[in-house]
Amino acid sequence: MSSSNVTYSIITNTDQTTQVCFNKITSHSSSLWIDNALEQILPAFVLQFALTSALNRALVFLAESCNVPRIVPNIFTGFLFGPSALGKWKYFFDSIFPYNNMLPLETMGALTLVYYAFLLGLELDLKPITRFYYNKKAIVVALAGLVFSLPVGIGLYYLLITDMGRKSLSRLDSDKNMRGAIFWGLILSCSSEFPEVAKILSDLKLLLTENGQLTLTSSLINDLFSWTLLLLVLTQLYYASLLSLFVILVLVLVCFYVIHPLAKWLVKKFGNGDREFVETEVVFLLHVVLFIGLVFDGLGAHSVTGAFFLGVIIPKGSLNNAVQDKVFDFVSVFMMPLFFLIIGERTNLQDLVLDTHWITVVVVIVLAFLVKLVSVFAVSWIYQMPHMEGLTLALLMNTKGTMPLIILYTAMDRLELESQPFVVMLLACWLMTAISGPVLAMITKSLNTGKVLGSQRKTMQGTRPDSSLRVLACVHSKHDADAIIDLLKASSPSVRSPIQV
C-alpha cells in the first residue's frame, strides 16, 4: 500500500496482530497544487497535533475537577484516537491518522520524551535522601514496593502468556520472554514521578503533613531506583556489552562527582549574570541534552536515561529555574500529548484477550494492582502508622506516571513485548492511577470530617472531671486580659481538677 508521501506495507501475523513496514521514501515533490493538503505530512501533522491538544486539554480540565491525576486523561486521549475508538472509523483513519503519517509523530514524540525526562531530573532534589538517618522509613517504603513488585511482575508476565499454564512456551522465544518479563517487573516497581506525587498531595492539602513528606521522599527514592534499574536492564539485556555498561556507570559517576560540583561552582560564580547570559546558558544546556541522549543511546541505553541523569546533576539555582520557566510548560503541557498519542495508536483492545481466557487477564490485572498496595501497607502497619494514613501512603505509591509508559514504549519499540502484554499492562497502570485519585480524595475528606467533628465535641461541658483542660490563648494587648480572666472563672477549677496557668 502506498500514498504520495510514504510507501508502506501492512502484514497480518498468524496471531491476528498487525505490523506496518515502511520504505525509505519519506517525502514527495510537487506538493503545491495537490487537491488534498492532508496527503502531505506537514499539514496532516499540524491537524493531528491540534486535535490531540484540544481533546487533551478538555479531558485534563474534567479530570482535575474529579481529583484524577493528569496521566489518566493523557492516556485516554491517545486511546480515543487509536484503533480501538475513533480509529475504527475508516474515514477518520484514512484521512486524519493514516499509517504514512506515523513516522513524524513517532519522531516528535521521541524528541519530546527526551526533554521531558530531562525536566523530571531537573525537578528532583537529592537533599531529602542524603539524610539517611532521618529517612530510614522512606527508604524501607520505597524498597518494599520495589523488591516485592519486581518478582511478582515477572511471574504475572509468564502467567499471562501461558494463560495460567494452558499454553506451552517455545524454547526459541525463551530469551525474548525473559526480557519481556523483566520489563513487566520494572513497570510494576515504578511509582508516579516526584512532581506528579507533589501535585496530588498539594491538591489534597497533604503536602506539608508528616505522611505527605514521607510519601514525597519515598517517591523520590523510588524514581532514582527505577531509572537506575532501567539503565542497567537496557545496557545488560539488549545490544550493549559489559564494556558499554562499565562506560555508562563510569559516566554516571563522573556526572555526580565531577560535573555536578563543577556545575554548582559555575552557577554560584556566574549564575547571577545578566538576562542574555542566562538565556545563552539555557540554549547551550538544551543542546547538551541531545548530545548526552545520543551518547547514552550509542552505548546501548535509551536516550531518555541520559537526559534524566543530566537533569539530576544540574544544581538548584538560577539556571535550573530559567530552564523550567522557559521549557517546562511547552514540553509537559503542549508537546507531551504527542507521546501519549503514540501510546494510544499502539493500543488495540481487541488484543486484550487474544488467545487468552478473560479470567486470566482479570486475575493478572487485579494482582498487579494489589502487589505494591499490600507491600507498602504492610510496611506502614509494621511502623504502627494509623490505618488510613497507611492506606493513603500505599495508594500514592501505587499510582503510575510517565515512567511505566516510557518502559512500555521502549519494550514495544525494541520488540520485547507483544501487543497483548503491552495492552494488559497499560490497562493495569491506567486503572491503578484512575482509581487512586477519587479514593484518596474520599479518604482525606473523611479524615478531615472526623477531625472537625472531634474538635466540635471538645467542649468544657463534655470533658471528664479528671481530664486535663488544654487551652491555647492568644493575648495581643492588655485589653485581652479580661477575656482570659473570664475564661479561667468559667473553667471552675477545684482541688480534684485544678487548673494551672
Q: What is the pLDDT of residues 215-263, one digit of tens each?
A: 888 888 888 888 888 888 877 665 556 676 677 778 777 777 777 777 7
Domain count along the chain: 2
For residues 443 and 373, membership in a common domain is answered with yes
Instruction: Out of 205-214, 274-283, 356-365, pick the least confident.
Output: 274-283
For residues 356 and 479, membership in a common domain is answered with no
| pLDDT one-digit tens code per residue, 420-455 | 899 999 999 999 998 888 888 888 877 766 554 444
Q: How far is CA 500 from CA 136, 334, 467, 469, 483, in A?
A: 40, 61, 13, 9, 17
Residue 374 has pLDDT above 80, yes or no: yes
With residues binned 3-state (H G I as helix, E B as strand, rest as coil), the percentages for the chain, rounded to 5, are: 70, 0, 25
Average confidence (pLDDT) over 138-150: 88
Average confidence (pLDDT) over 70-76: 91
Band (pLDDT 50/70/90 cuts) for residue 5 is very low
For residues 407 and 282, membership in a common domain is answered with yes
Mean pLDDT score of the chain: 79
For residues 404 and 485, membership in a common domain is answered with no
Q: Residue 29 CB: number of other CB atoms within 10 A?
A: 5
Residue 439 belongs to what domain range?
A: 95-455
Residue 132 Cα to chain centre, angstroms: 25
Contacts of 67 (CB under 8 A, 6+ apart): 203, 204, 437, 438, 440, 441
Q: Tell me, yes or no, whether 49 lies in a domain.
A: no
The per-residue pLDDT for 496 is 66
Beta bridge partners of 7: 2
Q: Tell me, yes or no, whether 78 lies in a domain.
A: no
Average confidence (pLDDT) over 356-373: 90
For residues 103 and 165, membership in a common domain is answered with yes
For residues 383 and 475, membership in a common domain is answered with no
Greater confidence (63 vs 486) lies with 63
Q: Residue 119 CB: number of other CB atoms within 10 A?
A: 20
For residues 406 and 483, membership in a common domain is answered with no
Task: Compute the half-sphere exposure of residue 408: CA atoms within 13 Å on the CB side of its CA.
Answer: 29
Query: In this structure, are residues 150 and 189 in contact, taking their beta carbons and an 8 Å threshold?
Result: yes
**How many whole angstroms separate alpha carbon 428 and alpha carbon 425?**
5
Q: Tell me, yes or no, whether 24 lies in a domain.
A: no
For residues 486 and 443, membership in a common domain is answered with no
Average confidence (pLDDT) over 71-89: 87
Residue 133 has pLDDT above 50, yes or no: no
**How many whole angstroms separate alpha carbon 302 and alpha carbon 314?**
20
The per-residue pLDDT for 174 is 78
Instruction: Out of 199-203, 314-318, 491-495, pick the least confident.
Output: 491-495
Residue 286 has pLDDT above 70, yes or no: yes
